[in-house]
Chains A and B, each alone.
Chain A
Amino acid sequence: MHISLQWLREFVPYQGTVQDLADRLTMQGLEVEAILDPFESIAKIVVGHVLERVPHAESDHLSVCTVDVGQPDMLQIVCGAPNVAAGQKVPVATIGTTMPGGLEIKRAKLRGVESRGMICSERELGLSEDHAGIMVLPESFRPGQLLTEALGLEREVIEVSITPNRADCLSVLGIAREAALGFGLPLTMPTLNLREDASAGDAAKALRIDIADAELCPVYRARVLTGAKIGPSPDWMRYRLLAIGQRPISNIVDVTNYILMELGQPLHAFDRALLKGDVIRVAPATPDKEVGRSITTLDGQERKLLGSDLLIWDAERPVALAGVMGGANSSISETSTEVVLECAIFRPGTIRKTARRLALPSEASYRFERGVDQVGSLFALERAAQLMAEVSGARVYTGIAASEPKPWATREHGFRIDRCNALLGLELTPEFCRTTLTGLGCPVNDADPANWRVTSPSHRLDLEREVDLFEECGRVHGLDRIPAVLPKISKSLDSVQMRDTEFGFIQNLKAWAVGAGLREAVNYSFVGTEDLDRLNLPVEGRIKIANPLSEDQNVLRTEIAPGLLNNVRHNLAQGNACLRLFEVAKAFVADETSDTTARENSRLGLLVHGARHAQEWPWEQGEADYQDVKGLIENLLVHYRLTSAANPAQYVLEAAHPYLEPCVRVELPGKGGVKLLGRIGRVQPKIADGYHARKDIWLADMDADLLRELSRATTPAFRKLPVFPPSRRDVTVICPATMHAQAVENAIREIKPKLLESLALVAVYAPEDKADDSKGERNLTFRLTYRHAERTLVDKEVDKEHTKVLTGLPQKLPVRI
């Protein structure tokens, strides 16, 4: 909201600087975002006096002018405008001036004649659309005067950000009230001087107002004017509207905008000659009838309507979308002479619904949906009618056509000063509170000193409750003057059980990942449908965004991978070839049983790509592979005590995964059955290609919620350190290359050698003799550790157990020892 300081001063005699005003308003809760000079771009334009004009010798449309710009030297300016003439006062852009459009005025030669400046049109100055000729200024202007000063342009404008509760501040009047309050100044309303003309007619007889539902429209008033002459508004009004960023249109329409900006009351002007019958009806749209199912608004668009949209009707058809936009069939045009000036209040929620659904936000709907002062609306109507008569020469009918089925009801609230002070942490005196509330326009009845009765004014729709009055007292006193006290935080016993939080676990998980040498990525929770499709992820269960910002953000990710994979693409494009990334974030899947229709599952994603070590020497070089990512997961499971000799995690090949190949399920057998902790795998090369990755991308996607649940249940359990020495035996198993190490390990365990304490794979290698028959085989060396808890083992008993393994294995599996 832009407010001109000069305009404001017509309501409040504020003499301070614009900066002080801005600071004060900001600390009162009306944040001034900027101090603007709307005419900065024409600040250097000066008034010139055309002393002489002669036709250009080489051109039939150019003139050569001698112009006095208040300097000793007269300027020779070549001008192409047809209306330039000797004796005129004109706006001149001298050499070095930059025009609003960005054009810099330079010394130039036009068809051989030197020109030292430019005589400007109104359009070139951004003052109107007029480009028929140069702007001719009043005779009284002095050469050399700055144009902005000569025209009295308002150059001090503040941009105020108004919070949704302060509808009352969406006007010069509203800001003036706050300034008056802040600086202890009186508020002066403009004097009304509306001259009615009995010979024109009686508005109440000429027009009947018919309101269908008082809740939708508590009051509708109209003034009727005749004999208006449509044309541009007077300069002062046009310049003032320009100063606050409004485009002047024509006198009648400009007045409605002017009053809206000044008093916050939206108005609408109908061409009465185009209205059918002598009635204005306020009633909802009728989507099931031929008439009333749509309306063409004055922007030429046909709008389909719902029964919840409120319309203004004449005797036959809708003529305006109430509070949002007028209809094309009744709007003011250049030939209009008869005017119906509407001034009404509409139900905020109704206006908002319509404006939003039709994507038709306007200055009017913006105010209506926040609430307009019902009591103050009459004054706005009268002032608007007066201005219209003044600027268009119209005559005003006597009286007002009006219907007010729901007059404003005053609202009274309790006000307990001790509650006020308790909430604010202040010690405000009754005197202060009384002065403040009264100053805000709230009459105070303090018959009961502990519980006042306070009436809130019609322009403060936000003062609905006692607490709203507390806020006003705090605001006027200055919230910044509230002292700082550190509260004692008391705890309930329940809260003590909250120690182990989801947040805490995730921080811990992230700390593990950092320790494991991974860098944390944070990606948007939404991706594009394409991102999921590229990974062949199922369409069922996806949660779509109904109103996405773009197609690449239109669905919530159902897995953690898409974000990390996009990071691969970005980093490779930037030349970052070695990637070790992790992310902890939620995956979202549709779930009808959830009260949010979504199941949210925290996932831990790990991704490695490129060189195993970013550092070259002294590491052995190599590309990250399955062992790297599996090692991370094994380390993770050890970190959370989820794997043990007695209950080792299982790594099981999964066939036909949508985007991983190979894909390995990480499973944890447990009491409740096997739990799927997550998957490890390589992104299918074809898919990786889509991310411009030429090397393997290895991923792990783990269920962080399950990790948390399982890790919670574990506590370190102390085992006595072994006293007697172990005895170790290695066994090398020659097995088909397709046989999994786990199968051999399982077979050894199934043989159940006594005294076996642990079992580990210590070497994997191809057989030495490269004879043809050994193709497709590999050697796995397992180390078996035997130990007795109570005595030192003798070789013989170990040998006996170990022989069971050596002889047993080839019987169980197609292997050789």
Chain B
Amino acid sequence: MSDIKSFLEGLDGLTLECEARRGQACSLKDLESLRVEFLGRKGKLAEAMSALVQMGPADKPAAGKKANEVKNALSALLESRQAELEAAEAQDALAGFDPTLPGRRPAPGSLHPVTLAMQEICEVLTGLGFEVVSGPEVENDWFNFEALNMPPDHPARDMQDTLYVSENILLRTHTSPLQVRTMMSRKPPVAVIAPGKVYRRDSDITHTPMFHQIEGLLVDKNVSMADLRGTLTAFVRQLFSADTKVRFRPSFFPFTEPSAEVDISCMLCGGEGHIGTEPCRVCKRTGWVEILGCGMVDPNVFRAVNAAGVGGYDPEAVSGFAFGLGVERVAMLKYGIGDLRMFFENDVRFLEQFS
């Protein structure tokens, strides 16, 4: 008969020994041999347990219970060491890892600021219910001028110095021919915007011979100038900021009557005209920035398209508004670009600022 007391002491001794030796295991391999030594099939625990069979029935339960506890304790001891060793090993593996090295960056692309502004403008306007239409850049005199109430030898043609291809063919001076093309092909109601390139025979510090415009046209029954103002107010508020104020100044465009220039409160100085004591350079002290031209579609335009197209544009039956804005101007205001000529140099250092 084995002595229960010495059996139990022996087991405790195993725990103490394991506790003492596990620290010496410096690698997972060391630890594995230690595990085999204590918990293996022929290990120390198994050896101690062999005494269990000779135990009297009265002692067996206590001895068995203890043996189990010791087994768990040994496992726990070895596992915690394993965790320590694994953590250390992982750390060793990371020693060569340098998180500050640069990543393998795919080449960054970017949209041109004109496209960026144009997309933003179109997004706001399509959100308001306008559809996008496109048309030719080489235009007939009729679409570019005559149908838009600018007969030949009309002084209003001076407002747009024109690049000609031949006597009757020109580079469109504005996106307004799309008003005509749209109304000739579709009956009212129409609500369209037409973004695109336009051309003028004009080149100086504030003009480039090519630039971009977005035309807007809404024709329906009972469209009023209040609708125009509402649309443009909603538009500039979304494009710039919710507190942007809109000002209508009477002006003249041959194809709208009445016509207005639209100013918005200056985004740089908040309409104050000055920043602190410095005069504002964007609005030149006025507090207002000219942003677009607009007006109610001139009855003569309706008459021209009504006669030449699908019809439905009797000026007594429908009314409409039109507006047009320069995209470069919006881009300059929004992104703070000071020099118009930069737009068409395509210097990579300029382009990459719009990534």
Which positions in A face B, CB cutoff 8 Å?
26-29, 31, 163-166, 348-349, 352-353, 369-370, 422-426, 465, 467-468, 470-471, 474-475, 479-480, 482-487, 489-492, 494-495, 498, 501-504, 507, 510, 513-526, 543-549, 553, 556, 567, 570-571, 574, 576, 579-581, 585-586, 588, 595-598, 600, 613-615, 617-619
Contact = CB atoms under 8 A, between A and B. Distances in A.
Contact of A600 (B136, B203, B234): B136
Given A502-B134, A567-B346, A546 B165 contact: yes
B115 A510 contact: yes
Given A486-B230, A519-B351, A545-B171, A514 B224 contact: no
B97 to A, nearest CB: 14
A521 B224 contact: no
A544 B138 CA distance: 11
Nearest to B110: A519
Interface string B8-32: 0000000000000000000000000
B258 interface: yes
B122 A479 contact: no
A574 B166 contact: no
B246 interface: yes
Given A521-B112, A571-B347, A470 B258 contact: yes
Closest 4 A-B residue pairs measured CB to CB? A425-B226, A517-B107, A29-B250, A163-B252
A684 to B, nearest CB: 22
Contact of A520 (B111, B197, B210, B226): B111
B128 A489 contact: yes
A163 B251 CA distance: 7
B218 A489 contact: yes
Contacts of B210: 524-526
9 contacts: A164-B158, A491-B191, A495-B131, A518-B107, A521-B351, A574-B347, A597-B165, A598-B165, A618-B104
A543 B164 CA distance: 10
B349 A26 contact: no
A677 B352 CA distance: 29
Nearest to A425: B226
Nearest to A167: B155
Given A545-B165, A570-B346, 19 more contacts: A27-B250, A164-B156, A467-B296, A467-B298, A475-B258, A479-B249, A485-B224, A492-B189, A492-B190, A502-B134, A519-B110, A521-B112, A524-B210, A525-B199, A543-B138, A545-B164, A567-B346, A570-B347, A581-B348
A501 B250 contact: no
Contacts of B348: 519, 571, 574, 576, 579, 581
Contacts of B226: 424-426, 482-485
Contacts of B146: none
Nearest to B185: A494
Contacts of B197: 525, 585
A546 B134 CA distance: 25
Given A467-B257, A498-B133, A482 B346 contact: no
A548 to B, nearest CB: 7
B111 A489 contact: no
Interface string B128-147: 11111110111110000000
A164 B160 CA distance: 12
B252 A165 contact: yes
A513 B249 contact: no
* Most B-side CB within 10 Å, residue of A163, A424, A617: A163
Given A482-B229, A503-B132, A503-B134, A31 B251 contact: yes
A588 B134 contact: no
A581 B136 CA distance: 25
Contacts of A26: 249
A356 to B, nearest CB: 8
Contacts of B225: 423-426, 474, 479, 482
Contacts of B246: 484
A370 B249 contact: no
Contacts of A619: 104
Contacts of B258: 424, 470-471, 474-475, 479
A29 B260 CA distance: 8
A501 B104 contact: no
A524 B115 contact: no
Chain B interface secondary structure, helix, strand, loop or mixed? mixed
Contacts of B233: 484
B338 interface: no
B109 A545 contact: no
* Most A-side CB within 10 Å, residue of B101, B231, B257: B257
* Most A-side CB within 10 Å, residue of B108, B156, B226: B226
Given A164-B155, A479-B260, A489-B128, A510 B137 contact: no
Interface in B237-261: 246-252, 254, 257-261
Nearest to B261: A31
A617 to B, nearest CB: 7
A485 B230 contact: yes
B155 A369 contact: yes
A141 B114 CA distance: 61
A619 to B, nearest CB: 6
A501 B132 contact: yes
A348 B132 contact: no
Contacts of B249: 26-27, 29, 31, 479-480
A487 B349 contact: no
A479 B254 CA distance: 18
B209 interface: yes
* Most B-side CB within 10 Å, residue of A165, A348, A349, A494: A165
Contacts of A425: 224-227, 229
A518 B106 CA distance: 10
Nearest to A575: B349
Nearest to A29: B250
B294 to A, nearest CB: 10
A510 B113 CA distance: 13
Contacts of B254: 164
Contact of A29 (B165, B171, B231, B252): B252
Given A545-B164, A549-B201, A520 B137 contact: no
A324 to B, nearest CB: 14
B187 to A, nearest CB: 7
Contacts of A498: 131, 133
A524 B220 CA distance: 36
Nearest to A515: B109
B138 A596 contact: yes
A588 B138 contact: yes
A423 B319 contact: yes
B189 to A, nearest CB: 5
Contacts of A468: 257
B116 to A, nearest CB: 9
A29 B293 CA distance: 13
Contacts of B111: 510, 514, 520
B41 interface: no
Nearest to B103: A618
B344 A524 contact: yes
A425 to B, nearest CB: 3
A31 B251 CA distance: 8
Contacts of A596: 136, 138-140, 169
A520 B165 contact: no
B105 interface: yes
Contacts of A543: 138, 165
Contacts of A503: 122, 132-134, 195
Interface string B186-218: 111111000101010111000011100000001
B238 to A, nearest CB: 12
Given A370-B155, A489-B130, A514 B109 contact: yes
B226 to A, nearest CB: 3
B186 A495 contact: yes
Nearest to A595: B140
B215 to A, nearest CB: 12
A521 B348 CA distance: 9
A510 B114 CA distance: 13
A549 B104 contact: no
Nearest to B107: A517
